[in-house]
Structure 1
Amino acid sequence: MLALHDWALVYLILITGACLQGLIGFGLGLFSAPLLFLIAPQLVPVPMILNALVITLALLLANRRYVDKQLAPFSILGGSVGVFLATAVFTLLDLAQYQILFGLSIVCAVLLSVAGFTPRVSGVSSAIAGTLSGFMGTLTSAGGAPMGLLYQTAHQQQIKANLSLFFVYINALSILSLSMADVVNKQDLLLFVYSVPAVIVGYVLSLFFRRYLNLNVIRPLILFIAFCSGLVCIFA
């Protein structure tokens, strides 16, 4: 179990990540997961996936009327494929291999986020983005980049609604799939119970800070921190 000073740092990272997620629709995974992997790797991926399930459910309930009901089934189908592929890969990796794959996934997620191209939103593109997000999300708990890229030109509430719907399903399926592969244990559940209050606090803070922060400045900062953390995971 973590020391008290480690928990203080974990809480700071989780509160910040959850607040960012509440503000712009992503951040808990892409910001918090790589930092936590460096200081408390036992929190990744299972406890972080459970934490992500909590905040995506809250965001979905708050923005449910903006869900794209026509395209959601395609992304969910693709996400299901990605989850099962990631579970199969996860069971074959040792810790060193997982750390490298984790870092590569984070770096790829950042590069996708800053790619600069805008894919056309369709059933096929939703399925492809869903597969990539499901795969990356199960391995790292930070799978929002492909789906975020797909919805990058949408209204902020549409982004939150559609990404949250997708990840409520994917996070729940990831936990079920990892449990069936005997990856989830009691320590994971205990770490989730200890860490989830920070996620709740971060989400509540996002409701307060929403009117005061420049979201256009926050996004590049998240991506920079995530990119650096991913590189450290690869080369550490």
Structure 2
Amino acid sequence: MDTTHSHLAFFHYSMLETGLSLSSLGLAFIIVFFGAFAQGVAGFGLALLIGPLLNIIDPVFLPGPVVLLVSIITALMAYSGRRHVSMPSVRGTIGGYLIGTVVAAALISSLPQRETALLLSALILAAVGMSASGLPVPQGKATLLSAGLVGGFMGTVSGVGLPPLALALQNEPGPRLRGTLAFVGLISIIMAQAALAYVGKIGQRELTVALMLAPAVALGYLASRRAAALCDAGYTRPVVFLVSALSAIILIIRNI
């Protein structure tokens, strides 16, 4: 009984701390669950789906809580693919991610809420376009560095930082591609967290929001592990792209 009261007291305090209503938190929990499920099945989707949808519910979810939530599933996927990481690709990319992260953090530290939402929407649409295009890109160190610069900027603002690198590595074998993306994604998301904390975009409130939604990430990812063999990824990817793009468009309309 005491444990139950303690959990209820913590939950009540957390609600007051974040300023979120129970209905907003419940809807956010469902969105994060399905975002994590989509990422587990299709290999991507958490930040693409949840960023614009959560921002429509309440701006408190961005960018800090989304970046924190993305780090959970990125860590899980990085651990799973740790044996297939291409270290030359990591070394060629990570400097660009660092520079892009610093630039993005400096920008959003002074960017008003409306402009932040519009920038997020534009980056989500760009990520959808890059992920769906499959455009051929030249191979080499310059391509990896450029992918890191763009990915670091996108990841810090929206939590979606891997599409540019996925394009750069599209000719790699599947296991190496996924392992390298997850490993670079984990490093870049840690950079983004540090940068956002430094400019005051991750504090007690953001940590509390992320903590309350973290179980949704774990549950969605676990559910995807069981369902992945039964789901047709050929349908999953277009649905994730479509929902992400529509959500970003709605967010743009709301903030014009």
TM-score after normalising by structure 2? 0.87
Choose 10-19 or 116-125, whichever is displaced more: 116-125
Are the counterparts in 1 of residues 36 and 73 from structure 2 also a CA contact under 8 Å? yes
Tell me the residue number matched to 1:209. Answer: 227
CA distance in 1, matches of 2:200, 2:47: 23
Contact 1:30 1:144 in 2 (8 A): no
Cα shift at 1:75? 1.3
1:28 maps to which residue? 46
| Alpha-carbon shift at residue 14 of structure 1 (Å) | 0.8
Report the Cα distance in structure 2 between the residues aligned to 1:155 and 1:37, rounded to whole angstroms.
Answer: 35
| Structure 1 segment 62-81 matched on structure 2, within 5 A | 62-81=80-99
RMSD: 1.5
One of 46, 64, 72 as aligned partner of 1:54: 72
**Local SS of the residue matching 1:216:** helix
The count of aligned residue pairs is 236
* C-alpha deviation, 1:153, in angstroms: 4.2
Q: Which SS does the other structure have where 1:182 is aligned?
A: coil
- Give the Cα–Cα distance (whole angstroms) in 1 for the partners of residues 120 and 180 of structure 2: 25
Mean Cα deviation higher: 161-170 or 107-116: 107-116
Q: State whether structure 2 residue 164 is matched by structure 1 residue 137.
A: no
* Offset, 1:231: 1.4
1:223–1:232 Cα change, 3 Å? same
Answer whether contact 1:24 1:156 (CA < 8 A) is retained.
no
Kept after mapping to 1: 8 A contact 2:63/2:201: no
- 1:144/1:40 CA distance change after superposition, 3 Å: farther
Contact 1:24/1:160, CA 8 A, preserved across alignment: no
Residue correspondence of structure 1 range 179-218 to structure 2 within 5 A: 179-218=197-236
User: What letter is aligned with 1:129?
Assistant: A
Pairwise CA distance, 1:67: 0.7
Whole-Å separation in 2 of the counterparts to 1:143 and 1:233: 19
Residue correspondence of structure 1 range 1-236 to structure 2 within 5 A: 1-236=19-254
- The offset of 1:182, in angstroms, is 2.1
Tell which deviates more after alignment, 121-130 or 82-91.
121-130
For residue 11 of structure 2, what is the aligned residue in structure 1?
none
Mapped partners of 2:173, 2:243: distance in 1: 25
Structure 1 gaps of 5+ residues are none
SS of the residue corresponding to residue 87 of structure 2 reads coil
Identity %: 26
Q: Deviations over 1:85-134 (max 9, x none)?
A: 10011012111111111111111111222234122443221111111111
